[in-house]
Structure 1
Amino acid sequence: MAEKILAINAGSSSLKFKLYLMPAEQVLVSGLVDRIGHDDAIFTYHLNGDKHETVQAIADHLQAVKLVIEALLNSGLIQDKAEIVGVGHRVSHGGSTYTKSVEINADVMKQIDRLSVLSPLHNPVNLVGIKAFETLLPDAREVAVFDTSFHSTMPASAYTYALPHELVEKYGIRRYGFHGQSHEYVYSEALRRFGETQTSQMISCHLGNGASVCAIKNGESVNTSMGFTPLAGLVMGTRSGDIDPGIVPFIEKEEHLSAEDVRKLLNSDSGLQGISGLSNDVRDILEAEKQGNQRAKLALAVYVHQILEYIGAYTTDLGGLKTLVFTAGVGEHSAPIRERICSRLGYLGVKIDSEKNHRNDFEIQADDSQVKVLVIPTDEELVISRETVKVLDS
């Protein structure tokens, strides 16, 4: 039976949504409420090929959800709010408590709140979105789809940190990984097109403002670059990625900073922004590099080097590489970054076609490449919708 499912991705000042008709996976409407909390917030949605946009004051997420529901009713897509039977929410951190998507109740909300200490930039906001829909769509069943779930298949050798066992057990300290919906989606697309053999040894590079690499073996995550929190791994827009842990107490002491000050520094003032001193946006840094800016050049060199390190390591985890995927904002749209990465992977049999790469084709490998190189636009909302149906039908 056809069901209308709403997939939600709540950010600190944004609310991204798609309404699906399931199981056909038909997108009925998609949109974004941006700059929530400001007088010039922007509400945009796409319906029947038309773009609708308004600029207005939107005080909070509750008001944003009201606008979304009103737009759905006014468009005629739904005659009654009760037609939306399920709302799937992207939730950043499920810890060791949740290795699969779950229907949301009071206890689940408490656990999401408790886990906010592990994902302070995301879990609290995810919870705000959940509570807003609970208020405004009381008849819909809500499902939490966790970023971390896809990586629950990692072996202990990949997720264990070399810390005292008592602390690890007490606080659930381990590598959890994130961007699970994105890595899961691009794997499913590659599998659909090329089959199990071609995708049995696959590396997925989710390169956006947040970024992670995932090693996928026979459909399961066996390693990923983000860790206990989304701060670990690659150099990102404003996040440091991997650093020597001794740097933290050193900076605290020398700069007289609190733990919270250092957390902000590593999450918001580091990465490409920190190295370049210019921007967290790869496009801006590429342009500055063209103008001869040496810090921009260094930022890009460090960024690419870190990605290459992980690809090399994860090829070892997989025992070889058959498919390399680029996704998310930078991965999908930056031909120069893909070229810089792939030009250093000849030893793995990677070779790309320059024209295909600059056209952002789905397949960008050269005819004589031993590895498929794919550019797959991610669709985290579709994974959220699929997971929501799965939970509601179970």
Structure 2
Amino acid sequence: MVDRAGALIVVLNCGSSSIKFAVFPADAEPLPRTPLWNGKVQGIGGSSPDFGETGVEPFAVDLDRAHPHSAALELIQQRITRRLEGRRVIAVAHRVVHGGTRYFDPTIVTLPILGDLRSYVPLAPLHQPFPLEAMRLLLEQRPDIVQVACFDTAFHHTLPKVEQILPLPYSAWQRGLRRYGFHGLSYEFMSHALPERHGEVARGRVIVAHLGSGASLCAMQDLKSVATTMGFSALDGLMMGTRTGSIDPGALLYLMEVEKLSLEDVAATLYHDSGLLGVSGISSEPRVLIKHEDDPGESGERARIALALFVRRIVKEIGAMAAVLGGLDLLAFTAGIGEHSVFIRERVCHDLAYLGVKLDADANAIDAPVISAAGSRVLVAVEPTNEEWIAARHARELLAANGHPP
């Protein structure tokens, strides 16, 4: 057994421009859903990065321009060390976007596994490299701390083959080209939180809308993933902040063949220059765009069409998933936009009236846990996600199962 008295688990979520962390008590029963403290470094690689944590106002930091992510990780390590007060970190759990065809369970990180995970970088170039760099540094600097990789693709391992397979030559499936699905840690948390709050209805026909800068839907039955909008990559499915979502592949061929865009140019367009930002020309965030809907001329028109397209894609995909599920019992909104954007939820639900969705405007206005009106055939919920707790939980369970010493 692992002696967990006074021990801590750190969860790291490393992105291209930010690193978030959360610290959980490994010895608490049950594991609390609120961390002891958390924080983040943001603006990494930019001109004015800053650091903030629980109880501390954000302040500007000077990161090594040549190695900003390494410098940010070192800063986080220093800040955590300052608050240990005799406690010790026994594990670091990492959110890893892609586990490919091999990794369906949380996995203890070793050098061979780290090398294996690098092979998935082309599948998630915006996300995969950064947690791997954190793993490498910690393996070098603190080999005494167990590191656990928690995969965003793992929750979707239950997808039936008809949902995983792509309509390419079958040899593509054999080479690993398939629908993987993402945001799995968020959806896994929903599989715990929704039945706790809503009971048996959460085990029925459920669609969870994870709407943030990245966005996807997951259809669940009996709390398991049976369909999802993201596919082989995190580009697929819903329109997002700067990503296209699903797009006619013929348009990409046209960009390359006729407009002579390079592969790098097309990748930049798909990942960084499209979505809400690309259509509006103003912002990737709905809360900003709604302020421009009444602008005169082209700016107002582009803001309106960007938001309309964002909502339309969500509504269309919910309709498709409801068809797969054979109906809909519960629709849950989560993540930054899903949890806080009153008007996006209102517009989506308005267009889902044909499914029997009726919104309670007052409840929606305060982000209440239930925002559907009496008489709605579909329960509509708002449920904050908690990917960090899922990762910490996996790390603690894996430590106990493998009998790692403290």
Q: Which amino acid aligns with 1:118?
A: L
Shift of 1:79: 2.6
Shift of 1:36: 2.3
Alpha carbons of 1:35 and 1:202: their partners in 2 closer, same or farther (altered >3 Å)? same
Q: Which amino acid aligns with 1:299?
A: A
- The match for 2:360 is 353
TM-score between the two structures when normalised by the length of structure 2 = 0.92
**Does the alignment pair 1:145 with 2:150?**
yes
Say whether the 8 Å CA contact 1:6–1:385 is kept in structure 2: yes
Shift of 1:74: 1.9
Listed one character per residue, the Cα deviations across residues 263-307 of structure 1 (whole Å, up to 9, x for unaligned) are 111111111111111111111211111324111111111111110
Q: Which of the residues 30, 41, 52 maps onto 2:38?
A: 30
- The match for 1:342 is 349
Say whether the 8 Å CA contact 1:324–1:372 is kept in structure 2: yes
Shift of 1:168: 2.4
Q: Which of the residues 254, 257, 268 maps onto 1:264?
A: 268
- The match for 2:172 is 167
Listed one character per residue, the Cα deviations across residues 310-362 of structure 1 (whole Å, up to 9, x for unaligned) are 11111122222111111111111111110000011122221110011011111
Q: What pairs up with 1:50-61 in 2 under 5 angstroms?
A: 50-59=55-64, 60-61=68-69
Q: What pairs up with 1:3-152 in 2 under 5 angstroms?
A: 3-22=7-26, 23-26=29-32, 27-38=35-46, 40-46=48-54, 50-59=55-64, 60-75=68-83, 77-79=84-86, 83-152=88-157
Listed one character per residue, the Cα deviations across residues 151-185 of structure 1 (whole Å, up to 9, x for unaligned) are 01000111111111113212x00000100111111
Say whether the 8 Å CA contact 2:17–2:44 is kept in structure 1: yes
- The match for 1:203 is 207
Partner Cα separation in structure 1 for residue 350 and residue 46 of structure 2: 44
Would you say how many aligned residue pairs link Structure 1 and Structure 2? 387
Shift of 1:39: 5.7
- The match for 2:313 is 306
Say whether the 8 Å CA contact 1:235–1:272 is kept in structure 2: yes
Say whether the 8 Å CA contact 1:155–1:222 is kept in structure 2: yes
Partner Cα separation in structure 2 for residue 332 and residue 57 of structure 1: 33
Q: Which of the residues 146, 170, 179 maps onto 2:183?
A: 179
Partner Cα separation in structure 2 for residue 327 and residue 160 of structure 1: 27
- The match for 2:194 is 190
Q: 1:239 is paired with a residue of what secondary structure? A: coil
Q: 2:22 is paired with a residue of what secondary structure? A: strand
Alpha carbons of 1:245 and 1:196: their partners in 2 closer, same or farther (altered >3 Å)? same
Shift of 1:390: 2.1
Computed over aligned residues only, the root mean square deviation of the Cα atoms, in angstroms, reads 1.5
Listed one character per residue, the Cα deviations across residues 78-121 of structure 1 (whole Å, up to 9, x for unaligned) are 436xx111110000111111111111111211121100010011
Shift of 1:61: 2.4
Give the percent of matched residue pairs that are identical in Structure 1 and Structure 2. 39
Partner Cα separation in structure 1 for residue 325 and residue 123 of structure 2: 28
Alpha carbons of 1:197 and 1:38: their partners in 2 closer, same or farther (altered >3 Å)? closer
Q: Which amino acid aligns with 1:85?
A: I
Q: Which amino acid aligns with 2:121?
A: S
Partner Cα separation in structure 1 for residue 82 and residue 174 of structure 2: 52
Say whether the 8 Å CA contact 1:38–1:57 is kept in structure 2: no
Say whether the 8 Å CA contact 2:202–2:223 is kept in structure 1: no
Q: 1:183 is paired with a residue of what secondary structure? A: helix
Shift of 1:150: 0.4
Partner Cα separation in structure 2 for residue 168 and residue 68 of structure 1: 41
